[in-house]
Amino acid sequence: MAVARYPAGMSDLPYWIAFSRIPSVGRARIERLERFFPSLAEAWRAGASELRAAGLDDKTVEAIVTARPTIAPERELERLERLGITALTWHDPRYPARLKESYDRPPVLYVRGQLTEADEWAIAVVGTRRATAYGRQATEHLVEGLIAYRVTVVSGLARGIDTIAHQAALRAAGRTIAVLPCPVNQIYPAHNARLAEQIVAQGALLSDYPLDTRMTRENFWRRNRIIAGMTLGTVVVEADEDSGALITAQLALDENREVFAVPGSIFAPYSRGTNGLIARSAAKLVTRVEDIVSELHLMLAPQQLAFREALPEDATEAAVLHLLGPEPKHIDELARESGLAVAVVSSALAMLELKGLVRQVAAMSFVRAR
């Protein structure tokens, strides 16, 4: 198989996919393998003693050694391609930036549909599977408002609030992403199969579960970590005190993301969880979309996206952006490091700021926007 089929620097993509098929090899163990081996291709071919030297425990080493004869990495990639599924590792530039920053980020994501730059502005909308008429109305109202600001709506394709959120986004001609508790070539719940195909056409289905993964109860809360991790914030519309939506809210709080809750009647069981979030100050009360937009500074999201689409990054902008990270750099330092004139760097920074790619955090000092 030609290396050109893979994204730059990812000629060992089949081996990432192969490791993802071994349940005991997750984020922490992939990090250990990456630190020890030049590539995951070499890690896949390594002997048991080398795997132990990389820091893997005996049980995991045994799982890898046992699984390897049953997994053909190249064939795994070919299966995905036949099914129209894209595999993204956390080194792929298409991998969601915020999810990559999260603690429990998946090493590999499986995608049907397309992830785009627009998804940098994404909000999760979740809630009970037993939505009331009030919950439906509130969800549709908030989602339509978010789509008007060109925000991507992320949810879990479950019955109730999740389904309503996806449907409302599609009706408003906006982007929506469904994160699944199963492989993306399977749909759960099955009755949402048609909705899933509509989402593929107007957004994406996303999962970290490889083909043939069996459904377990644990899959649902692990799915929720992706919903919380890839979004700017989470909106809980209706939820009882034992709702899985509250798990998503807690995961969002753990990642220092904003949580919002729609208040409900004190007599309604499916408002006990949301009212409790508000009472504990774990969530900000939401009655209109502007409550979310102002808190997350999304007012300029449409303009920033328009600038990104209309003004593609040129070589100068790319050079300046490459020099920026989370630590502030003064414009003079950027000029020295890039070899460009201060005036040229200043012009590039102005365009990058309009596109939302950089932020000025002090006088003439900039960081890369996340």
Q: Could you read off the pLDDT of 122-143 as tens digits, one per residue?
A: 999 999 999 999 999 999 999 9
pLDDT score, position 5: 47
pLDDT score, position 274: 97
3-state secondary structure (DSSP) of residue 261: strand
Please report how the helices 161-171 and 133-148 are oriented relative to each other, as an axis angle in degrees rounded to 10. 40
Beta-ladder partners of 204? 113, 177
Of 363, 104, 124, residue with least CA distance to 228: 124
Question: How sure is the predictor about 306, in pLDDT bands with cuts at 50, 70 and 90?
Answer: low
Tokens of 278: 């508000």
Check pLDDT > 90 for residue 188: yes
pLDDT score, position 258: 97
Q: Is 327 left (phi over 0), alpha (psi -120 to 50) or beta?
A: beta
3-state secondary structure (DSSP) of residue 132: coil
Report CA-CA distances (Å) from 189 to 78, 120, 207, 242, 247: 27, 27, 14, 20, 19
- Whose tokens are 């896949």? That residue is 44
pLDDT score, position 356: 76
Per residue in 271-304, pLDDT tens? 999 999 999 999 999 999 999 999 998 876 666 6
Q: Is the pLDDT higher at 265 or at 327?
A: 265
pTM: 0.81
Tokens of 239: 């939820």
Question: How sure is the predictor about 1, in pLDDT bands with cuts at 50, 70 and 90?
Answer: very low
Residues above pLDDT 90, as percent of the chain:
80
Check pLDDT > 50 for residue 305: yes
Q: Give pairs for 363-366: CB < 8 Å, separation 24+.
A: 364/330, 364/331, 364/332, 365/328, 365/329, 365/330, 365/331, 366/324, 366/328, 366/329, 366/331, 366/334
Per residue in 144-158, pLDDT tens? 999 999 999 999 999
Residue 227's H or E segment, with its range, is helix 218-229
Mean pLDDT rounded to a whole number for the chain? 92
Check pLDDT > 60 for residue 322: yes
Per residue in 91-128, pLDDT tens? 999 999 999 999 999 999 999 999 998 899 999 999 99
3-state secondary structure (DSSP) of residue 280: coil
Q: Which of 4-18, 220-234, 296-310, 355-369 has the weakest average pLDDT? A: 296-310
Per the CB < 8 A criterion, the answer to whether 9 and 89 are in contact is no
Check pLDDT > 70 for residue 312: no
pLDDT score, position 4: 38
Per the CB < 8 A criterion, the answer to whether 247 and 124 are in contact is no
Residue 277 CA to chain centroid, in angstroms? 24
